[in-house]
Structure 1
Amino acid sequence: MDSLTQIILGAAVGEAVLGKKIGNKAMLYGAIAGTIPDLDIFASYFTDTVSALEIHRGFSHSIVFSAIFAPVCAWVVTRYEAYKDFKGWTWLFFLALFTHPLLDAFTTWGTQLFWPLDTRLAFKSIFVIDPLYTLPFLIFLILAMLQKRTAKKRRVYNNLGLIVSSSYLALTLLLKWIAFTKFESALMDQNIAYKQIDTRPSPMNTILWSANIETEDAYLLGYYSFFDTQPITFEAYKKNHELLGDLAEDEKVQQMIAISKGWYTIINKDNKLLFSDLRFGLLSMDEGAQNFVFQYEIVRDEHGQVQFVEQEKSNLDGKKLMSDLWVRIKGN
């Protein structure tokens, strides 16, 4: 999830653990701990694109990381804070660190929660930014913050924030299941033979859902809104995996294929070989659009090593996408 949401979650968890004893400091330290796992993004400054993608939401988003660094953070804090309960501080940091990847597991990218096992947990039921999850949570947190440390209302507001946000998160799983059944029925009605379906919510909402469907030689992309009145339609994108040629055996290409979980197409455009990760959709909902959110040019550097160069996106792309989404959310 986005940084603000993780800060709010960490602060609420900190308050739940030690708020009654140390007041707003519990929120402060919880918020700090809630941002620590995402420091793995700095890997992009020290390594190549593919390796940085592998590192993101890996070790720092695992139970092992939380278990190791919680007592370390607790030890550091008890060196200078007046409140010296090491066990209490350890619980605060562990839960604030652990709930971060737990929440991220509901997004499309997922988390390597059980590192060192090479498995990402991804429920794909919520977008990385969802106002319906974040805003109510933030309001309850602010209300709690304004109360005195020992006030009963403080705990009530904080608990309400945790309950409402968690309930919404559970609701997204139900909405995902409903959307999945709609896509499945549409495929059956249209007599489309397929291998697998991958569904996720569109940006910033859980009303409009998208699906990738794998067939023998192509991927089908479709959308479903809970306000739809017409049948679901699908648009086909050829896999074109054969365009990789000998590159298919390259280590970096194999890594990128593994990262995408096999949901990728290859496009030869303007003498550029583009690798498109289908899991995060397009920047446009126009028919035939090929500007995928995560798209990389495959190039060789001066040493002959294969590199993936992410294609630039402009603010206009984002505005166009949000405009298209708003229209599509209201139904087909």
Structure 2
Amino acid sequence: MDSLTQIVLGAAVGEAVLGKKVGNKALLYGAIAGTIPDLDVFASHFTDTVTALAIHRGFTHSILFSVLFAPLLAWLVSRYETYKDFKGWAWLFFWSLITHPLLDAHTTWGTQFFWPLELRLAFKTIFVIDPLYTLPFLIFLILTMFQGRTTKKRRLYNGLGLGLSTAYLAVTFMLKDVAQTQFKAELDKQNFSYKAIDTRPSALNTILWNANVDTENTYLLGRYSFFDSQPIQFEAYPKNHQLLGDLIQNEKVQRMVAISEGWYTITLENEQLYFNDLRFGVLSMEPQSQDFVFKYLISTDASGEVFFTEQEKATPQGKKLIADLWERLQGN
């Protein structure tokens, strides 16, 4: 999830654990702990694209990381804070750290919660930025901050924030199930034969859902809104995996295939190969758009080493997409 959401969650968890003892300092340290797992993004400055992608939401988003770093942070804070209860601080940091990857596990990218096991939890029930999750949570957190440390209102407001946000997460599972059922029913009606289906919410909401459908030689991409009255339309994207040729044997290419969980297409544009990660869809509502959210140029140097370079996303594309998504979620 986005940084603001993780700050709010971490602060609320910190308050729940130690707010009665240390007041707003629990919010502060919880907020700090809630952002720490995302420090893995700095890996992109020190390593290649493929390795950075593999590292992202790996070790720092695992149970092991929370277990190891919670006591370390507790020891550090208890050395200079007037409140010296090591166990209390350890619990605050543990729960503020571990709820971060638990929340991220609901997104499309997911987390390697059980690192070093190569098992990624990705429920794909919520977009990385969802105002319905974050804004009510933030309002209750602000109300909490202005209550006395031991007052019932403080616990009430914080409890409401945690309770409503958690309930919303639970509802997203039901919404995903309804959307997936609709996709499958429509695929059957249109006599599509497919191997697998992958569904996720579109940007900023849980009303409009996207589906990737794996067929023999193509991927079908479709959208469904709970306000739809017309049949779902699916667009076919050729896999073109054969365009990789001998590159499919390359270690980096194989790692990218694994990272994308097999949901990728290869396109040839101006005699250059591109790797498109289908899990996050396209940046346009235009038919057969090739503006994939995550698109990587595949290149090689004189020695034959392979490089993946992420293509920049233009801001106007994003703005137009939001406007188009708003119109589309209101129904077809």
TM bucket (normalised to shorter chain) is over 0.9
What's 1:159 paired with?
159
Residue equivalent to 2:324: 324
Amino acid at match of 1:223: R
Alignment-derived partner of residue 142 in structure 1: 142
The reply on whether 1:233 has 2:227 as its aligned counterpart is: no
Structure 2 letter corresponding to 1:39:
L
Tell me what 2:176 maps to. 176
Q: Whole-Å Cα distance in 2 between the matches of residues 302 and 46 of structure 1?
A: 22
Counterpart position of 1:128: 128
The equivalent residue for 1:118 is: 118
Q: State whether structure 2 residue 62 is matched by structure 1 residue 62.
A: yes
Distance 1:104 1:117 in 2: 17
Deviations 1:286-331 (A, max 9, x none): 0111110000010013543100011111111111111110111111
Residue 213 of structure 2: aligned partner: 213
Q: Secondary structure at the match of 2:293?
A: strand
Task: State the match for 1:268 in structure 2.
Answer: 268
Match of 1:243 in 2: 243
Q: Matched residues in 2 for 1:118 and 1:203: separation?
A: 27
TM-score scaled by structure 1? 0.99
How far did 1:141 drift?
0.3
Aligned residue in 1 for 2:15: 15
State the one-letter code of the partner of 2:52.
Answer: A
Q: Secondary structure at the match of 1:206?
A: coil
Would you say 1:43 and 2:43 are equivalent positions? yes
Separation in structure 1 between the aligned mates of residue 142 and residue 226 of structure 2, nearest angstrom: 32
Residue number in structure 2 paired with 1:95: 95
Q: Which secondary structure state, in structure 1, belongs to the residue aligned with residue 123 of structure 2?
A: coil
Which residue identity does 1:226 align to in structure 2?
F
Question: For each residue in 1:249-287, what CA deviation from the matched residue of structure 2 results, as whole angstroms up to 9, or x when unmatched?
Answer: 001000000000000000001111010000000000101
User: Structure 1 stretch 31-40 or stretch 304-313: which is displaced more?
Assistant: 304-313
Alignment root-mean-square deviation, CA? 0.6
- The aligned counterpart of 2:188 is 188
Deviation per CA, 1:135-180, whole angstroms, max 9, x where unpaired?
0000000001010111110000000000000000000000000000
The code of the aligned residue for 1:73 comes to: L
Which SS does the other structure have where 1:124 is aligned?
Answer: coil
Q: Which amino acid aligns with 1:181?
A: T
Amino acid corresponding to residue 155 of structure 1 in structure 2 = R
1:184 is displaced (CA, Å) by 0.4
Task: Give the percent of matched residue pairs that are identical in Structure 1 and Structure 2.
Answer: 70
Letter in 1 for 2:172: T
Q: Deviations over 1:202-224 (max 9, x none)?
A: 00000000000000000000000
TM-score by length of 2: 0.99
* Matched residue SS, 2:267: strand
Give the match's secondary structure for 2:128.
Answer: coil
Amino acid at match of 2:233: T
2:34 is matched with 34
Distance 1:209 1:310 in 2: 25
- Structure 2 unmatched ranges of 5 or more: none
Structure 2 letter corresponding to 1:69: F
CA drift at 1:40: 0.2
Correspondence 1:223 to 2:223: yes
SS at match of 2:80: coil
* Whole-angstrom distance in 1 between the partners of 2:25 and 2:76: 15
CA distance in 1, matches of 2:17, 2:158: 11
Provide, for residues 190-244 of structure 1, a one-character-per-residue CA deviation record: whole Å limited to 9, x for no partner.
1100000000000000000000000000000000000000011100000000000
Q: How far, CA to CA, are the matches of 2:4 and 2:326 in structure 1? A: 23
Write the distance in 2 (CA, Å) between the matches of 1:319 and 1:100.
28
Partner of 1:197: 197
The one-letter code matched in structure 2 to 1:57 is R
Alignment partner of 1:78: what SS? helix
Distance in 2 separating the partners of 1:204 and 1:154: 29
Secondary structure of 2:323's counterpart equals helix
Distance in 2, matches of 1:320 and 1:245, equals 36
Amino acid at match of 1:5: T
* Secondary structure in 1 matching 2:101: helix
Q: C-alpha separation between the residues in 2 aligned to 1:57 and 1:102?
A: 11
Q: 5+ unaligned residues in a row in structure 1: which ranges?
A: none
Q: Which segment is superposed worse, 315-324 or 28-37?
A: 315-324
